[in-house]
């Protein structure tokens, strides 16, 4: 009977380096949340959900992919709107960068979310 240390698979697997977590690329910590919002632009209005936000941008889930890269407004009911530029999009997920300065973005969320 073999012990676990004698198992050839254990030896093979130990040849691979351990998986390291992917480093965070953001300078600002992100706040995870689930907020309803609307993207508004020349192509129309599109409902979305804000999944996380920083003082620089946000990750959105869309009800359907949007193909436009034109500047748009992210409208958050009771908070107002922020101009955004699309940074990336994959299927129904989108990353946007706020066009306003980080301090202005923080003031929009003040009292509701600390950024």
By three-state DSSP, how is residue 9 classified? helix
Quick: pLDDT tens for 67-97.
Answer: 777 789 999 998 999 999 999 999 899 999 9
Going along the chain from its start, the domains and CATH numbers come out as 25-109 (2.40.10.220)
Token pair for 53: 């936000």
Q: What is the mean pLDDT of residues 49-54?
A: 96
**Would you say residue 103 has pLDDT above 50?**
yes
Query: H helices then E strands: how many in the chain?
Result: 2, 6
pLDDT of 14 higher than 80 = no
Note the pLDDT tens digit of each residue in 21-47.
444 555 677 899 999 999 998 888 999
52: which residues sit within 8 A by CB, 6+ positions away? 30, 31, 32, 33, 58, 59
CB 26 within 8 A of CB 56: yes
DSSP state of 92: T
């Amino acid at each position: 009977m073999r012990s676990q240390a004698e198992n050839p698979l254990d030896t093979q697997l130990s040849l691979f380096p351990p998986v390291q977590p992917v480093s965070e690329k953001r300078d600002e910590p992100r706040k995870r949340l689930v907020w309803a919002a609307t993207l508004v632009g020349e192509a129309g209005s599109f409902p979305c959900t804000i999944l996380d936000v920083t003082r620089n941008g946000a990750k959105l889930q869309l009800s359907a992919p949007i193909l436009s890269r034109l500047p748009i407004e992210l409208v958050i009911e009771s908070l107002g709107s922020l101009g955004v530029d699309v940074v990336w999009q994959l299927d129904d997920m989108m990353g946007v960068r706020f066009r306003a300065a980080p301090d202005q973005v923080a003031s929009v969320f003040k009292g509701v979310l600390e950024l």
